[in-house]
Structure 1
Amino acid sequence: MNVAKLSVLRPVAMSMLIVLLIMLGMVSLRNLPVDLFPELDYPVVAVTASYEGAGPEEVEQLITRPLEEMMASVQNVESVSSTSRTGGALVLVAFDWGTDLDFATLTMRERIDQIRDRLPPGVTTPQVMRFDPSMLPIVQLAITDQHGDLAETKNLIENEIQPRLDSIDGVAAVQIEGGTTQEIRLEVDPDQLASYGLSLNDLQQIISSENLNIPGGEVTDANQSLPVRITGEFQSIYDLQVLPIPTVEGVIPLSNLASIQETTAPTLQESYLNGEPAIGVSILKGSGTNTVSVARNINLEIKEMLELLPEGTNIRIIFDQSQFIEQSIQAVGWNIVIGGLLAAFVLYVFLRNIRSTFIIAFSIPISIMTTFLFLFFYGETLNILTLGGLALGVGMMVDNSIVILENIYRKRSEGEGKKEAAINGTNEIGGAIIASTLTTVVVFLPIVFVEGLAAQLFKPLAVTVAFSLLASLITALIIVPLLSSTFMAVNHHTSAFERGFERTKAAYRRFLERSLHKPKTVLFSTMGLLGLSLACIPLLGTEFLPAQDQSFVSIDARLPAGNDLQATLSLTEEIDEHLTNIPEIELAYVTVGGTDNFTIGAGSQVNRASYSLLLKQISERSRSDLVVAEDVRERLKQIPNVDIRVTASDTGFSDNPIALTVKGPDLQTLKRISDEMIKTISNVEGVREPTANYNEGSPEVTISIDRNAAASYGVGSAQIANTIGNATKGVVATKIARDGEELDVRLQVEEKYTASVDHLAQLLIDTPTGERIPLSAVATVERGQGPSSIRRVDRLREITVRADILGRDLGSVVTDIEFALKEEIRPLLPSGYRITFGGQNEQMNDAFFKLSGAIALAVLLVYMVMAGRFESFFYPLIIMFSVPVTAIGVIGGLLITSQPLGVGSLIGILILTGIVVNNAIVLVDYMNTLQSEGYSTYQSILQAAPTRLRPILMTALTTILGLVPLTLGFGEGTEVQQPMAIVIVFGLAVSTFITLILIPVIYLLADKLKKRHSDQELEL
């Protein structure tokens, strides 16, 4: 290769290039954004609209359906789902992966403008917003106070802690949950007010009008123009107590009409950390920012704030995504280092030459730095998948360098000078090295055409492996010849290993001779092993992505609708008792009352408690998060009348393992079918916590206004609703400023007037004539059941049953569920109703189909690259026989390690397709070279195969040993890469040994067939 000649003859220039590459690589590494996973561009856009007071049926008919029809007509829409509930609608539009969502959202807004006039009066303008994974918090804090004054603590958070956290570069939002706020409460007796000729509204207006500071124009005094300001703001509770109120009985102080006290405002949400009252703080990062960098700055700011906070106030981190990221990246980084050291050890064992080992070992950091440089300019982030790609590539990085170095070393041993050997050795093998590298790189090209979640995740890994191999090719063609021409020394003494290897090579030659004499035996034996391996595929099982142990378990506990906050707090006390004896739990943080993420009009769900359990680090516990979650699940089963879900190993970007959707027109029929489905799948082994997303309506008080009766008294529906709202919720009459904060002054009726439905029915309504009538005179007050929400997918009503799995692979569980549904449910399905599978099973099937197509395309591309290299379709066909035999090692490896076949395994097979042909390329290329020099086919095989045995074993062993740490799954965050590593290690190990015999045998048979065909043509 001319580049090798240039490298050898211009050592100073090339040395400067090496230094420049290393420096640029280090700068790129420092500037690469660090994250857990690549930023996923979820193709989901939400449309929300509110219609106050409307029930689910009205919302579905008047809002949801028109929006669904318009959204379904937008280009590249995959599915449209909706939720219609009291007071609003949520429509989720899922697009094909790869859709330009900026243009899609613009089109959606245009379509909404077209139907805006068709929506009923009172409907808010529908809002369009994209779903962004960065909306999820990267750090969650729990702030406690030893003195128990949560109102003061919340004030401290809002005035000091939140502003400091907001000012950190990269922080998008800081959300506060829990805690209490102070307010001044005025409780009045409506009957007493009436005796003074006042109503609640009258009192509210008087208080509000007296609490103000207003400008009063200007006056001129001593040639000066002075602004006039009228001051009348309340300064304290005393000002309220003595406030004069004009009544029919004369002017009296407010304290005679109302009970005035400072107290805590009613709250529908409380938080606890390890049983102590706490306030939660969630911190969200901006899109595109560095998660680790932002989290580090947050932690530094917290350390500084802890020194300034009042005594007794403490900040605990209950979730920090950067910790898992750093642990995962550190684990993968160590795997790279260990893999590199193992590869260097293999080199030294085979070469027994410290200088030659140094040359190869030095090529690894150069290749890695060059890879970082490529990643920086490509715009990729540093995450566990890109580092996983680097770990996969570290063993392959040295393959090219090994082959070239071994060839140079052989030339030197034959007596050539340093520079001549470096140039000639590189030129002789350079073409085959480029071809073998391109065959490995080209297998990643089909991933560009694959869409879906799996492709979004693994494209960065594929890009990293491709970049690392291209970097290694540059290193092999430039750096290795340069260093070899300077540092290489030849061993003139024979070591014990060398003598042992010579005996191994001789034994291999003898075995190869026997194989060449019995080619049919070799072929049939290989086909038998391949057939046996393929027959074992059903034993593997299937999965989408492996679970990741993030040392985090969540619990979602819900009491039946209608239970109040106190009932839920009592539930948490019972749950806490069950959690106390679990040694793996380090922190337990619970929020009582809350809202569903990403839903409209959910309100505060006081019957719900959400737990976040932070576990000890993996090295400090013997049980995985999944096992701990199962333990929690079993303990909490004892609690009656509560729906509890326990989840662990949630990656955040995949659905529940099991998701069954039943679709049809009638909601009650769907509910009945979904209940039967839950009973059926609960009996399937491995299924945990099947639940439906159907929500029963909550108990409520229904007030039906008699418009005729109300009109006869001269009152309207709005006035009645306003009176009821003021009585039940109170009304903020004004605010009092104190110590830099504002306290609400809430005016409300005494609790006895809203203590029951009967009391509410006796609430007095003012009429224009001055008469006061009870609510029961103009309305019917009764308890009832509120309407449930209505969910639709692709304009059909649906209920989805979701479940987790434990102890079995996804494919086996789904197969059993399909059989159970076929036997028990499907025969009873009414006409117009159907059941479909979704969740991870749908994602898995989609990924399997697309990746299988990518593997087939990769095989074709590999063949085309080799056809271009050999300028023949014949020899590449021989080499391609090394691809199918990898199935023997792949299937065997997965069976031995009890790994199901998943997306990671398929990516490993894709990578393996490009790797396994490399040894065959080097072998066939040298056979062709020897034939061109006059050797017979038989002689060229017996000469080439033993000669290339050393570089083939070296490249295979360095790749295999480089992946051993990942195969064993050392450290956090390696679960995703482990299946890939297993596939490559076992597949390459088996295929290497088979290829050393199979390819020469096929080469001999094919050459005989080719000559026979040529002889027949000559005879014709």
Structure 2
Amino acid sequence: MSFTDIFIRRPVFATVLSLIILLVGLRSYFTLPTRLFPKIDASVITISTHYAGADAALMEGFVTTPIENALGGIDGIDYITSSSTINQSTITVYFQLGYNIDAAASDVNSKVNSVRYLLPDGIDDPVISKTDPNAQPSMYLSFRGDSLSPEKITDYLNRSIQPQIQTLPGVGTAQVWGLEYAMRVWLNPQLMAARNITPADINRTLTNQTLQAPGGQLKTNLQEFSVKTFSEASTAEQFDNLVLRQSDGQLTKIRDVGKADLGSKVTDISVWINGKVGDVIAITPSSTANPLDISTEVKRAFSTLIAALPKTVQAQVMWDNSTFIDESIKEVKKTILEATLCVIFVVFLFLGSWRTLIIPTVTIPLSLIGVCTIMFILGYTLNTITFLSMVLAIGMVVDDAIVVTENIHRHIAEGKTPLEASLLGAKEIQFAIIAMTFTLAAVYAPIGFLTGLIGSLFKEFAFTLAGSVIISGFIALTLSPMMCSKVMLPHTATESAITKKIDEIFNKILLYYEELLHKVLKNRKKVLGVIPVVLTLSAIIYYFIPSELAPLEDGGYILTPILAPTSSNVEYTQKYSKELEKIYSTIPEAENYIIVNGQGSSGIAPNTGISFLVLKPWSERKRTVDEIIADLFPKFMAIPGIIAFPVNPPSLPGAGSGAPIQIEIQTLGSYDKLNEVAQKIMVEAQKNRKLFNIRIEPRLDQPQLNININREKAGALGVSTSDIGYAVNLGLGQPRAGYFSIEGRSYYVIPQLYPEFSNKPETLNYLYLSTASGALVPLGNIVTVDEAVVPQSYNHFQQLRSMEITASMVHGYTLNQALTYFKTIINNIAPDVQIDYAGQARLFFQTGGQMGATFIFAIIFIFLVLAAQFESFRDPFIVLFTIPLSVFGALLAMLLTGCTMNIYSEIGLVTLVGLISKHGILMVEFANQLQETGKSIEEAIVASATVRLRPILMTTAAMVLGTFPLALASGAGAVSRQQIGWVIIGGMTVGTIFTLFVVPTIYTYIATKKSSSI
């Protein structure tokens, strides 16, 4: 008794097994979380160090470099970047994907602590934080108030709204973009000089009198009291009354030399929402959260919170990325339904019987729902990638059932009863089913073990698809034969007119094919000559197909980085960025927009900004994001005073949000020489009309005042360098001098000169310093001032000084073409310069070689599986000849439809390897059986090809027609589905045509009389 006989003779047992698969799968489906992409474990550690008043060069030499040197020996690092700017050092350590983030943080922490003693005195402790580069905000909530100050709204949000949103399930962070309170102590240097008040006096008074002094406890015989000392100033009036000096019984207070005012901590940032000043709460999900659930929870809580807002504050959900996720998943589910209907239509077209149609059709829900159990066990999620695998699975999972059903149907047509036909037909075909199932599953084994971004993205795709195929193979050997024995009618039963017509048409096709196949085999050498021609054409077509990391999707929003001249302040940036609002008003697809002035992609900088334009839903607009960007681009370029480039952000997780081209030019020498090379490269790159937004970072045009200390004079007078440094900081900067609290929240105290004094270097002459004798000396007598032009920041890449060239491409110009162009001009201009890559460009090079190796490994896996199943090292070669022929069809379809070579199309090519191999398996396996009955090699392969023609055409038509909804997809997330769809359609269509003639030809050359090992 064969394996299939058990289930044919025990129909209840076969039915119960399938019901268990269905029920457990349904339970798993409703348990699986939903997200846009599979979770990517990206380990990134950021070390931020603040040193008030320090220039960029000081931060580089005394802060960034010592910390970087300590980090060099840590395991698992991919690369390190750093930026040293005024007051701030930021070092970002990128670990290899999948590296343990906790272990990484521990290693970084211990290394930073080991060099803490090397950092300057007075510097803030380095802040080490674990960051997820994929953790991008998924919702923006906006708040505006006409009668309330931005600081008041920000404070209300921080106290009332943000804590309630932060504690919602799944919310990682809820960050308020606004203006926090600070106590601004405005000082008049002339009044300070008149009363002999030095900057050191200001610092000492503010620091000492804003300290929180613990009071302790008082215990009596019967009671215990807690003691609170009200030592800190907390209101502007109390700060005004702080005593700076007592001389001859006269008190000098803050109000005598200035004024305290409750103002804003940051004055170089402004947030505009739909044309009005406001605040934004950016909500970022936790790494394991379901964005759809978070959106529901936040909106539910938001409706309650809005009711409690002050009446003058307007609030709204500005942007919700769950809309894109929901739309993408809805579109994929719609594609699944369309593909299912297409497959059912194809099966009916070939079988011509509604009763018979049921048998392969039930395989679809059983396989797709059943695989959810495997996904649950492996910890996968329901996302666009796993749903994409289910779309492809629809055409695959019916293949095995179609082959079984067709073979049993053939035996019934020969006069056997349904039971006899099921027993014999299933037994005949079970080896081929097992071979096809394991072959297709083996294709995805290399994908499942990929590392890096592709591995993280497509591991779930590979194992979900392989799981579906394995389940379908099991169903084809258990449920399908049993159903055939119960559902199919005997040959004596009256056939419907449509069945007779279909059989008549197919019999004509069969006779024509058999006749044509005989002619082909008589001209075998000519057929062999076609193969090198096809391979040559494939190579030529491949050359003309552009490559990129991944196609851009229509995400429903547009980002616009804003750049003003280097020395511009936030008022300048804001003035010209208002022009964007006028342009947005002319875009019918615009729904909301946010403009943040003073905040760029690299952090706070008054000459930068970012704009976020939210578009109407896909169903409510006719133009795509790329079409709208094409409209905005010339309008933005016409804005005077700033540079603004609208861009469509990368849709692939882990690709970052910066420009697609990020080339790092490195040196051990000076920035001046490095800048010379970078400028030459930029000038040459600007000649390429397909590149735009070409920039060099850092720019070397930051105006700087150099304060030169006369150390001999300072030493002779007994003036300390620290007092000089603080005086300069107070005169020209905004130093921090402690904290104060309001109703349980602490805020900065920031002393500074009135704007009319702090805006000019001459102010230093008004500030006095105490000498060793107690006398006062003007700061201007000890220091001199000169002007210089320096880099905005000092950047390092892999611990070397670097400058980054960034650029974006016009639509249709791919990343590979752009990088090839840049490599060419760099080699021509500076062949000895050291370069590296970051962002999308780095990922492109890291993933490029992986897919080629995966394709080769997939073929090797198939060969080994087939060799084991056929017990022959020759027969697998016959099957593998179908692969290059199908790849030709895929490449041709890509060229004709404008597809690119990207990770989606490459996954489609790997999938194609398994799909097209199934045709060869059907022919070779049955031909071997026929040889054992005494037929010659040619007789066997002709008979096998003729008998297997119908299932081959059925499975091909089912796969191709089932994939058309992918190729013709529209809406959210459609571009990636189109890429993989056209690969499958072209490869299966052309590959099947070649298979029907090339496999029989190759079989007559390679096959032996017996399927034995060489």
Query: TM-score scaled to structure 1, two decimals?
Result: 0.89
Given that 2:179 and 2:264 are in contact with CA atoms closer than 8 Å, whether structure 1 keeps it comes out as no
**What is the rounded CA distance, in whole Å, between the counterparts of 2:238 and 2:671 in structure 1?**
57
Partner of residue 467, structure 1: 467
Which residue of structure 2 aligns with residue 590 of structure 1?
A: 595
Post-superposition shift, 1:562? Answer: 2.5
Q: Is the aligned partner of 1:976 residue 2:937? A: no
CA contact (8 A) 2:889 2:988 kept: yes
Partner of 2:162: 162
Please tell me the residue identity of whatever aligns with 1:587: N
> Of 778, 783, 790, which aligns to 2:782?
778
Amino acid corresponding to residue 524 of structure 1 in structure 2: G
Distance 1:944 1:451 in 2: 41
Alignment deviations for residues 246-299 of structure 1 (CA, whole Å, 9 cap, x no partner): 774767998777657666666221101111111011122223222322232122
Measure the CA separation in 1 of the matches of 2:142 and 2:500. Answer: 65
* Whole-Å separation in 2 of the counterparts to 1:729 and 1:166: 31
The residue type paired with residue 955 of structure 1 is T
**How far apart, in 1, do the equivalents of 2:745 and 2:106 lie?**
41
1:562 & 1:719 partners in 2: Cα distance? 28
Matched, 1:24 2:24: yes
Give the Cα separation in 1 of the matches to 2:12 and 2:730.
86
Instruction: State the TM-score, normalized to the length of structure 2.
Output: 0.89
| Partner Cα separation in structure 2 for residue 394 and residue 637 of structure 1 | 48
| Alignment: residue pair count | 1000
Q: Which amino acid aligns with 1:802?
A: T
Say which of 501, 514, 520 aligns to 1:509: 514
Displacement of 1:331 in angstroms is 0.9
Counterpart pick for 1:659 among 647, 657, 662: 662
Q: Per the alignment, in what secondary structure is the counterpart of residue 317 of structure 2?
A: strand
Q: Structure 1, residues 371-423: CA drift from partner, whole Å, max 9, x if none?
A: 11111111112211111111111111110111111122223333444444333
| Structure-to-structure mapping, 1:754-833, within 5 angstroms | 754-766=758-770, 771-786=775-790, 788-806=792-810, 807-822=812-827, 825-826=829-830, 833=833
The match for 1:894 is 894
Q: How does 1:41-60 map to 2 (within 5 A)?
A: 41-42=41-42, 44-46=44-46, 60=60
Q: Deviations over 1:181-234 (max 9, x none)?
A: 485x6656555567677777768888986999986976979x878778787988
Matched, 1:532 2:537: yes
**Amino acid paired to 1:430:** Q
- Distance, in Å, in 1 between the alignment partners of 2:925 and 2:734 is 85
Compared with structure 1, are the counterparts of its residues 195 and 818 closer, same or farther at alpha carbon in structure 2 (3 Å cutoff)? closer
Q: Which residue of 2 aligns with 1:330?
A: 330
**Alignment deviations for residues 944-978 of structure 1 (CA, whole Å, 9 cap, x no partner):** 32222221111111111111111123331132232
Name whichever of 47-56 and 387-396 sits farther off.
Answer: 47-56
Please identify, of 339-348 and 6-15, the stretch whose mean Cα deviation from structure 2 is larger. Answer: 6-15
Structure 1, residues 109-132: CA drift from partner, whole Å, max 9, x if none?
A: 555566666777777776665542
Q: Which segment is superposed worse, 164-173 or 112-121?
A: 112-121
C-alpha distance after superposition, 1:53-76 (max 9, x if no partner): 666556555565555555444445
Report the equivalent of 2:494: 492
The 8 Å contact of residues 360 and 398 in structure 2, kept in 1 or not, is answered as yes
The verdict on how the C-alpha distance between 1:752 and 1:94 changes in structure 2, with shifts beyond 3 A counting, is closer
Equivalent positions of 1:499-648 (< 5 A) are 499-594=504-599, 596=601, 604-648=604-648
| C-alpha contact 1:889 1:988 (8 A) present in aligned 2 | yes
Distance 1:197 1:60 in 2: 36
Are 1:717 and 2:721 matched, yes or no?
yes
CA contact (8 A) 1:134 1:284 kept: no
Distance 1:4 1:365 in 2: 21
CA contact (8 A) 1:736 1:745 kept: no
Conserved 8 A contact 2:53-2:735: no
Amino acid of the residue matched to residue 759 of structure 1? T
Which letter maps to 2:360?
Answer: I
Change (3 A) 1:2 1:325: farther
Residue-by-residue CA offset, 1:614-654 (whole Å, 9 max, x unaligned): 12233333332223223323212223443434321422522
Distance 2:937 2:224 in 1: 113
Give, in whole Å, the separation in 2 of the partners of 1:120 and 1:241.
32
Distance 2:550 2:80 in 1: 26
Give the CA deviation at 1:903: 2.5
Q: CA deviation at 1:817?
A: 4.1
| SS of residue in 1 equivalent to 2:970 | coil
* In structure 2, distance between residues paired with 1:127 and 1:370: 48
The question of whether the paired residues in 2 share the 8 Å contact of 1:177 and 1:269 is answered with no
Task: Check the 8 A contact 1:753/1:760 in 2, yes or no.
Answer: no
CA spacing shift, 1:215–1:865, aligned 2, 3 Å? closer
Match of 1:671 in 2: 675
SS where residue 548 of structure 1 aligns?
Answer: coil
- CA spacing shift, 1:931–1:606, aligned 2, 3 Å: same
The CA RMSD over aligned residues, in Å, is: 3.7
1: CA distance between counterparts of 2:404 and 2:198?
96
Find the aligned partners of 2:1011 and 2:952 in 1 and give their Cα distance. 32
Q: 1:32 to 1:933 in 2, by over 3 A?
A: same
Where 2:599 maps in the other structure, the secondary structure is coil
More deviation in 861-870 or 109-118? 109-118
Q: Is the 8 A contact 2:150 2:279 kept in 1?
A: yes
Structure 1 residues 867 and 754: CA distance shift in structure 2, 3 A: closer
Q: Aligned partner of 1:669: which letter?
A: K
Counterparts of 2:449 and 2:725, CA distance in 1: 59
1:758-785 deviation digits (Å, cap 9, x = unpaired): 2332223455766444321232244444
What is the CA-CA distance between 1:674 and the residue it aligns to?
0.8
Is residue 189–residue 763 contact of structure 2 (8 Å, CA) maintained in 1? no
Change (3 A) 1:331 1:709: same
1:648 is paired with a residue whose SS is: coil
Q: Quick check: 1:180–1:267 contact (8 Å CA) kept in 2?
A: no
State the partner residue of 2:921.
921
In 1, the alpha carbon distance for the partners of 2:455 and 2:223 equals 76
How far, CA to CA, are the matches of 2:374 and 2:100 in structure 1? 26
What amino acid is the match of 2:41? Answer: D
> Kindly tell me: are residues 255 and 791 of structure 1, through their superposed partners in 2, closer, same or farther at Cα, counting changes over 3 Å?
closer
- The DSSP-based 3-state class of the residue aligned with 2:316 is strand
SS in 2 for 1:31: coil
Secondary structure class of the residue paired with 2:588: coil
Conserved in 2, the CA contact under 8 Å of 1:549 and 1:624?
Answer: yes
How far is the alpha carbon of 1:315 from its aligned partner? 2.6
Distance 1:696 1:753, change over 3 A: same
Unaligned ranges ≥5, structure 2: none
Rounded to whole Å, the distance in 2 between the matches of 1:263 and 1:800 is 37
Work out whether residues 573 and 642 of structure 2, in 8 Å CA contact, stay in contact via their aligned partners in 1: no
CA contact (8 A) 2:4 2:478 kept: yes
Tell me how far 1:543 sits from its aligned partner. 2.0
Structure 2 counterparts to residues 371-450 of structure 1, below 5 A: 371-450=371-450
Deviations, residues 423-443 of structure 1 (Å, cap 9, x unaligned): 332221011111011111111
Q: Secondary structure at the match of 2:30?
A: helix
Aligned letter for 1:574? E
Return the offset for 1:610: 1.0
Any residues of structure 2 matched to 1:978-1017 within 5 Å, and which? 978-1006=978-1006, 1010=1008
Q: Provide closer, same or farther for how the CA distance between residues 710 and 1006 of structure 1 changes in structure 2, counting only shifts above 3 A.
A: closer
2:698·2:791 contact (CA, 8 Å) conserved in 1?
A: no
Contact 2:199–2:726 (CA<8 Å) still a contact in 1?
A: no
Secondary structure at the residue paired with 2:655? coil
Cα deviation per residue 1:536-572 (whole Å; 9 max; x = unaligned)? 3322222221111112211111222232221111121
